[in-house]
A and B are shown apart, each in its own frame.
Chain A
Amino acid sequence: MSLVGATASELLSLMEKGETTAVEVMQAHLDQIDSTDSKVEAYLHIDTESALKKAADVDARRKAGEPVGPLGGLPVAVKDVLCTRGVPTTCSSKMLENFVPPYDATVIKKMNAADGIMIGKVNMDEFAMGSSTENSAFKKTRNPWNLEHSPGGSSGGSAAAVAAMTAPLSLGSDTGGSIRQPAHFCGVVGMKPTYGRVSRYGLVAFASSLDQVGPFANDVHGAALMLEAIAGHDNLDSTSVPKEVPSYTVSLDEPLKGLKIGIVKEHYVEGLNEEVEAAAREAYKVYESLGAEIVEISLPNSKYCVAAYYIIAPAEASSNLARYDGVHYGHRSESFGNSMIDMYSHSRGEGFGTEVKRRIMLGTYTLSAGYIDAYYVKALKVRRLIRNDFDEAFKQVDVIASPTSPNTAFKIGGLINDPLAMYLEDIYTISANLAGLPGISVPAGMSKAGLPIGLQLIAAPFEEEKLLRAARMLEKETGWTAKRPTLS
């Protein structure tokens, strides 16, 4: 069997049986990068030597019968928003073009401890702001299913890397859908854990009350395996929750008995693409055939989530990104007047791209005197109503199913000059971030034009196990996760 395109569990089993080695697996994926990434352009930084050295170390331990971690030498692509000691971490921004972190993010430490091997750092929308990966200062990543289309964003590089078979697993971050929407666009599994499930230490901050790190994989098991490796409390992130991490992989294959799935009546309105809706409705039927009960529910405030989010996230971003001052790290302008303030303004004006500037401006405006109550505080109140809606819904159902995003992958350049239309693409994903809930996008179909369609499932806080098991039921029945693009 081909090593590239294989799932994490298939690769682990081959390595454990001695039929292949971590070095062979790594080399096969590096070769796949060589042959495909000039088209897909997912990677920003590849450290071949270090990846192969770590793989050889795993092989030596496996051969000697010494302990090997649960990721057993698997290649992992890492979104360039996660700090990696000694390896450039740019956030796809000119601001951090030359930034080399002096420490590892906690998820990177955990990945290393589990013997996951970083194969490379991958592209994203600048500072994770965007839904297409077009806001990268360095390159435009393409959708492996159709190179004229966007891979989604902001974790477009992480999704495209898995879809292009250059890694079975990757890490991304999700502030308003940045893992789930690209997973849907690229036909892979992508999961945003509950807020506080995974440490944010070393994740370059965008909106601190919404950001979460999560896995991508080419099957549900891979996502479960990766999440298990990175989840857990961290003393370095006081918002991480001290709650035991279940073994997600162990229970994965047990179908959920008496599963109640909520479908939200407010979701099926104008703007939802027919094929995306049809794929979602087909998935509901599959669940029914497996014994699940489909219950129509209402999330009455869901139509306000995009507005609330695009007030709250930029407000937090305007504060978080104040740290880029051209003093401690990051870009410093060479041409400014002689005041300190000019130095700040020019460094930031040159270092940030359009969307980042727009969000800093938006956040500064909605937080400024005279407007804070009308915008920011109002949005925080609506956020509570949105959370209350979910709390009510989860009294009736186990998970909520919906399309992940209203459309399949749009063309590169299609929405870039219409920021509001781009924001509205996040309509189904955003509420999980506002409410802090876990969500997963799992492949559930394919459009006539050959673009993948995902189904989103959302659950109550810390119900990742339930989400993964529900996603696994669909995968087992439909086989959509086994599809691979031809990349021609």
Chain B
Amino acid sequence: MSLTQADVTKVATLSRLALSEEESAQMLQHLGQILGYFEILQEVDTENVEPMAHAIELHNVFREDEILESLPREEALANAPKTDGKYFLVPQILSND
């Protein structure tokens, strides 16, 4: 599975990362090297082994559905790059017509 520049471009798009040409070229080299190292795992026999996503066995944790104090609006908006004081502002996502 050799990585190509087209793969890098596709993954950058999926990752929502704008990369410069230089970054993209370096990414190809470094990711290729790292992915190559991962091949070592193919030696391991994992037939009938359950994947382990977490170090402790997790159970659902329930609590009473109580109304508690929440973050005041102005504090929730305080770190927003763009706000009108009521909402987070984003670029227009629908066209006018």
Q: Please indicate which of the listed interface residues B7, B27, B53, B88 has the most CB atoms of chain A within 10 Å of its own CB.
A: B53
Cα A306 to Cα B38 in complex, Å, equals 9
How many residues on the A side are at the interface (Cβ–Cβ under 8 A)?
76
**B96 contacts chain A at the CB level, 8 A cutoff:** no
7 residue pairs from A and B, CB less than 8 Å apart: A239-B58, A304-B43, A307-B41, A329-B79, A340-B90, A384-B51, A420-B37
Query: How many whole Å from B54's CB to the nearest CB in chain A?
Result: 5
List residues of chain B with CB within 8 A of the CB of A419.
30, 33-34
A435 near B55 with CB under 8 A, answer yes
List chain A positions with a Cβ less than 8 A from chain B: 98-100, 102-103, 195-196, 209-210, 235, 238-239, 241, 301, 303-304, 306-308, 310-311, 318, 322, 325-332, 336, 338-346, 348-350, 352, 354, 357-358, 360-362, 364-365, 368, 371, 374-375, 377-385, 387, 419-420, 423, 433-437, 461
Cα A433 to Cα B18 in complex, Å, equals 32
List chain B positions with a Cβ less than 8 A from chain A: 1, 7-8, 11-19, 23, 26-27, 30-31, 33-35, 37-38, 40-44, 46, 49-56, 58, 61, 63, 71, 75-76, 78-82, 88, 90-93
B17 near A358 with CB under 8 A, answer no
Q: Please indicate which of the listed interface residues A327, A336, A341, A423 has the most CB atoms of chain B within 10 Å of its own CB.
A: A327
Other-chain contact of A98, B14, B31, B49, B79 (Cβ < 8 Å): B79
A381-B49, A384-B49 in contact; A345/B31 too (CB < 8 A)?
Answer: no
Task: Look across to chain B and name the residue whose beta carbon is closest to the beta carbon of A337.
Answer: B91
List residues of chain A with CB within 8 A of the CB of B27.
357-358, 361
Other-chain contact of A360, B13, B15, B58, B71 (Cβ < 8 Å): B15
Task: Look across to chain A and name the residue whose beta carbon is closest to the beta carbon of B36.
Answer: A420
Query: How many whole Å from A312's CB to the nearest CB in chain B?
Result: 9
Other-chain contact of B91, A209, A322, A343, A352 (Cβ < 8 Å): A343
B11 near A361 with CB under 8 A, answer yes
